[in-house]
Chain A
Amino acid sequence: MTESERGSERPVRFETLSGIPIEPLYTPESLRGWSPEEKLGRPGEYPFTRGVYPTMYRGRLWTMRMFAGFGRPEDTNARFKYLLEQGQTGLSTAFDMPALMGYDADHPRSRGEVGKEGVSISTLDDFERLFAGIPLGAVTTSMTINCTASVALAMYLAIAEKQGVSWSRVGGTMQNDMLKEFIAQKEWICPPDPAVRIVVDMIEFTSKHVPRFNPVSISGYHIREAGATAVQELAFTLADGLGYVEAACARGLDIDSFAPRLSFFFDIHNDFFEEIAKLRAARRLWARFMKERFGAKKPESMRLRTHTQTAGVSATAQQPLNNIARVALQALAAVLGGAQSLHTNSYDETWALPTEDAVTVALRTQQIIAEESGVALTIDPLGGSYYLEKLTDQMEAGALDYIQKIDAMGGIIRAIDTGYPQREIADAAYRYQLMDDRREKVVVGVNKYVMKEERPINFLKIDATVEREQIERVGRFKAARDRAKVERRLKQLADACREQRNVMPVLVDAVKDYVSLGEISDVYRQIFGLYREPIIF
C-alpha cells in the first residue's frame, strides 16, 4: 500500500487491543511458509488448534455456566435453582471476600463484606444449605475459590457423601490457581511455595479419589482484568500452568495421571479476532509444552480445555444496556475460539451482582448464539482465515517470548517473587488508562457518545440484615460444637501441614466435624506464615 493510499485512512490506531499492528489486507502472502498440517491438524488431534474434541459443538454444545453467589447460602441456593430451571447446564459458585480470604463470617475482618460479593460460607452447615436439593451426581459445579479451595473441596465431597453420591461420580472444577492470585487477583494467605504445595495436594488427591474433578482452573481471566494485554494473559497463564506441572512432577506424580484434569479459564475481551486467536494459540502452545517439555503420552494430557468469561473490565457503568451488545460479541468470540464453557456477564455488573432479569438476558445471549446463529454447526469456522491464522501465530510468538524470559528467571514462582509479572501488568494497565484518558481508544458511552442525562437502572442490593443474621447464625453454630473434637482435628491438620503429608484426607474429616473455614485458614497462617506482596505501582 502506498503512502497516499494510507493517507486516505481514518485517523485511528490500526492495531489490536494488545497493540499488535494490523495490516490493511491479509493475503496468502501473509502466511508464506505456513503449513496447515503443522499449525492446525484436525480437531481433537495434536496440536489441537482447531479444537480439543473431534466433533466440537456438533457433538455437544459448550457448558453454559453462570457465575452466581450472594448473601446467605439460602439466597444463592434459590438463584442456582432458578438458573437450572432456565436451561443452564452447570453451576458456578461465587464466594464472598471473607470466605475467599480465609475468615469466618463472625471474624472482625469480615465486617462489611459478608455476603456482598458472593455467598457467605463458614462451616459445612452453610455448604449444606447452599446445595440443598441439588443432586451432586447430576450437575457439575465450578467454584471460584483459591487460597481456601482445599476447604471448599473437602466440604463439597462431604456433602456428596451425605447425598449418597460416590466421589467417583462427582464432577466439577476448583479455580484453585494460587499463582495467578499473586500475579493478579490478590487473594492469599501464605506465600507461593506452601500455596502451590496445597494445590499439588489437591491435584494428587483428586487424581486418585475424584477422577472427574478438575482440581485447578489455570486462570488468565484475572490477569487480563488486572490490566494485562492478551499476549500477557496468554503468557502468564501458561507459565502458571507450567509451574503446577513442574511442582506435581517434582512430587513424583506421573504426568499422564493428572494432566488430563488440568483446566483453564480465559477472559474474552473486546477485540474479536485477537481473542479467538488467543484461544487457538493457547491450545497449540499447551499441547507442545506437554508433549515436548514434559513428555506426556496421552493426547488428553495435551488438550487445553477452557472455561471463558466475557470481560468484566470492558463493561461500562455508563449506558449499561450497551454492555449487552459487548457481551454478545465477546461470547461469539469465545464460541468461535472453541471454548468448553462460558459465563456471559450481565449488563448491570459494573454496579452490583446481577439481578435475575439481567442474568437471564446474559444466559439467553448464549442460547441465541448456540441455537439461532448457526455458528455452532461447523468446527472452527474461521480456521484458514489469513488474518486469524497470522494473528494466532503472532499471539503464540509473543507469549513464547515472555515464557522464555520467565524460564530464564527460574520459573514463575521466582518471577513472582521479583514482581516481574505484576510490574508488566501494572505498566500495561497504566498505558491503557492513558490511551483511554486521551481518547486514543474509544469507549462508547464513556469517552465518546456520552449522554448528559442517563436513566438509572435497578440493581441488586444486599440488605444489611444479611450480614447480621449470618454472623449470629455462624457464631451460635460454632459455639454449639464439641470443642475438643474441633481442637483434635485442627491439631491433625497442623501435623499434616508440618510433616508434608497431603492435607486433603484430614480436611474432609475436619469439615465433617464442622471445623470452620476460618479455623482451617488460621492453621495455614500459623504454619506457613502470611504472604506480603511487593509494593509495585
Chain B
Amino acid sequence: MTERSIRVVVAKPGLDGHDRGAKIVARALRDAGFEVIYTGLHQTPEQIVATAVQEDADAIGLSVLSGAHNYLFQRVLELLAEQGADDIAVFGGGIIPPEDIATLKAMGVKELFTPGTSTQDIVRFVREHIRAAV
C-alpha cells in the first residue's frame, strides 16, 4: 500500500477577516507537498469540522487574530470529539497570548504559532507531528 500524502484543512473560524497568515500557511504547506484545503473566511466551528471529516483530513490548522481563540479552538475540539474524529490533529496560529497557549495546549491543541514564525517551522511541524491516516 502506498502512503497517501498528509491532508490539512486550513480554516478561518469566526468573524475575523485577517487572512494573510492563513493563506501564506496554506500555500507554504501546499508547496511543501501536502494536500491543502483552504475553507475561506467566516467559518463556524461546525462548518470546519464538517469539512475536515468530509475531506478525511489528518489535521486542521486554525488561524485566529481577533482574540476569540479560546472559544473557537475549544469548540472545534469539542465537535471533533463528539463526532469521534479526534484523531484529526488541531494546530493553529494568530495573536495568542502565552497563558492562552498553555490553556489551549492543555485542552488538546497540538501546537500554536505566533507572529514572527517562519513558514519552514510550520512545514517542519506538520512533517514531524502529523501522520496520514491509513
CB pair A429 B23 closer than 8 Å: yes
- What 1/0 mask marks residues of chain B from 61 to 79 whose CB sits below 8 Å from any chain A CB? 0000011101110000000
A187: which of B17, B67, B98 is its contact (CB, 8 Å)?
Answer: B17
Q: Is the interface on chain B under 10, 10 to 19, 20 to 34, or 35 or more residues?
A: 35 or more
Could you tell me which residues of chain A, from 488 to 537, have a CB within 8 Å of some CB in chain B?
Answer: 532-533, 535-537
- What 1/0 mask marks residues of chain B from 32 to 55 whose CB sits below 8 Å from any chain A CB? 000010101110100000000000
Give complex CA distance A227, B14 in Å: 21
Give complex CA distance A103, B24 in Å: 29
Q: Is A321 close to B, CB under 8 A?
A: no
Say what secondary structure dominates the interface of chain A.
loop
Give complex CA distance A103, B44 in Å: 14
Min Cβ gap B91→A in Å is 17
CB pair A456 B17 closer than 8 Å: no
Give complex CA distance A447, B117 in Å: 10
Give complex CA distance A345, B18 in Å: 17
Q: Is B103 close to A, CB under 8 A?
A: no
CB pair B72 A112 closer than 8 Å: yes
- What 1/0 mask marks residues of chain A from 459 to 498 whose CB sits below 8 Å from any chain B CB? 1011000000000000000000000000000000000000
A103: which of B15, B23, B26, B70 is its contact (CB, 8 Å)?
Answer: B15
Stretch of A22-30, A94-102, A211-219, A398-406 on the interface side: A94-102
Q: Which residues of the other chain, B, contact A446 by a CB distance below 8 angstroms?
A: 116
B68: which of A116, A351, A352 is its contact (CB, 8 Å)?
Answer: A116
Known interface pairs A112-B68, A186-B41; A317-B17 also in contact (CB < 8 Å): no
A439: nearest chain-B partner, CB-CB: B118
CB pair B41 A98 closer than 8 Å: no
Q: Which residues of the other chain, A, contact B27 by a CB distance below 8 angstroms?
A: 426, 430, 537
CB pair B116 A97 closer than 8 Å: no
- Give the total of A residues in contact with B, Cβ under 8 Å: 45
B42: which of A101, A117, A185, A461 is its contact (CB, 8 Å)?
Answer: A101
Min Cβ gap A220→B in Å is 15
Q: Is A113 close to B, CB under 8 A?
A: yes
Q: Is B56 close to A, CB under 8 A?
A: no
Q: Is A251 close to B, CB under 8 A?
A: no
Q: Is A111 close to B, CB under 8 A?
A: yes
Known interface pairs A97-B14, A429-B23; A116-B97 also in contact (CB < 8 Å): no
CB pair A186 B95 closer than 8 Å: no
Known interface pairs A437-B120, A459-B97, A533-B41; A113-B66 also in contact (CB < 8 Å): yes
CB pair B71 A433 closer than 8 Å: no
Q: Which residues of the other chain, B, contact A185 by a CB distance below 8 angstroms?
A: 17
Q: Which residues of the other chain, B, contact A535 by a CB distance below 8 angstroms?
A: 38, 40
B30: nearest chain-A partner, CB-CB: A537
Q: Is B84 close to A, CB under 8 A?
A: no
Q: Is A122 close to B, CB under 8 A?
A: no
CB pair A317 B71 closer than 8 Å: no
Q: Is A16 close to B, CB under 8 A?
A: no
Q: Which residues of the other chain, B, contact A351 by a CB distance below 8 angstroms?
A: 95, 97
Could you tell me which residues of chain A, from 442 to 457, have a CB within 8 Å of some CB in chain B?
Answer: 443, 446-447, 456
Q: Which residues of the other chain, B, contact A318 by a CB distance below 8 angstroms?
A: 116
A353: nearest chain-B partner, CB-CB: B67
Known interface pairs A434-B119, A446-B116, A537-B26; A116-B67 also in contact (CB < 8 Å): yes
CB pair A352 B23 closer than 8 Å: no
CB pair A97 B68 closer than 8 Å: yes
Known interface pairs A100-B15, A109-B44; A429-B20 also in contact (CB < 8 Å): yes
A97: nearest chain-B partner, CB-CB: B15
Could you tell me which residues of chain A, from 401 to 441, have a CB within 8 Å of some CB in chain B?
Answer: 426, 429-430, 433-434, 436-437
CB pair A98 B26 closer than 8 Å: no
Could you tell me which residues of chain B, from 76 to 114, have a CB within 8 Å of some CB in chain A?
Answer: 95, 97-98, 114
Q: Which residues of the other chain, A, contact B36 by a CB distance below 8 angstroms?
A: 537
Give complex CA distance A275, B68 in Å: 33
Q: Is A176 close to B, CB under 8 A?
A: no
Give complex CA distance A462, B67 in Å: 9
Q: Is A316 close to B, CB under 8 A?
A: yes
Q: Is A350 close to B, CB under 8 A?
A: yes
Q: Is A225 close to B, CB under 8 A?
A: yes
Q: Which residues of the other chain, A, contact B66 by a CB distance below 8 angstroms?
A: 97, 113, 116-117
Known interface pairs A97-B14, A97-B15, A97-B68; A317-B26 also in contact (CB < 8 Å): no
Give complex CA distance A316, B68 in Å: 21
B99: nearest chain-A partner, CB-CB: A461
Could you tell me which residues of chain B, from 7 to 21, have a CB within 8 Å of some CB in chain A?
Answer: 10, 14-20
B31: nearest chain-A partner, CB-CB: A430
Give complex CA distance A100, B41 in Å: 14
CB pair A113 B42 closer than 8 Å: no
B19: nearest chain-A partner, CB-CB: A186
Q: Which residues of the other chain, B, contact A537 by a CB distance below 8 angstroms?
A: 10, 22-23, 26-27, 30, 36, 38
Known interface pairs A112-B68, A117-B67; A225-B20 also in contact (CB < 8 Å): yes
- What 1/0 mask marks residues of chain A from 115 to 146 whose CB sits below 8 Å from any chain B CB? 01100000000000000000000000000000
Q: Which residues of the other chain, A, contact B18 by a CB distance below 8 angstroms?
A: 186
Give complex CA distance A30, B37 in Å: 49
Q: Which residues of the other chain, A, contact B22 by a CB distance below 8 angstroms?
A: 537
Min Cβ gap B46→A in Å is 10
CB pair A533 B95 closer than 8 Å: no
Q: Is A226 close to B, CB under 8 A?
A: yes
A352: which of B17, B24, B67, B119 is its contact (CB, 8 Å)?
Answer: B67
Instruction: Name 15 extra pairs, CB < 8 A, besides A100-B15, A317-B115, A537-B10.
Output: A111-B71, A112-B71, A113-B67, A226-B19, A316-B115, A352-B97, A430-B24, A430-B27, A437-B118, A443-B116, A446-B116, A537-B22, A537-B26, A537-B30, A537-B38
Would you list the 4 A-B pairs with minimal beta carbon distance, nearest first?
A112-B71, A186-B17, A112-B68, A116-B67
Q: Which residues does B use to contact A, with CB under 8 Å? A: 10, 14-20, 22-24, 26-28, 30, 36, 38, 40-42, 44, 66-68, 70-72, 95, 97-98, 114-116, 118-120
CB<8 Å pairs between A and B, sample of 15: A97-B16, A110-B15, A113-B15, A186-B41, A187-B15, A226-B19, A227-B20, A227-B24, A317-B95, A317-B116, A430-B28, A437-B120, A456-B98, A532-B40, A533-B40
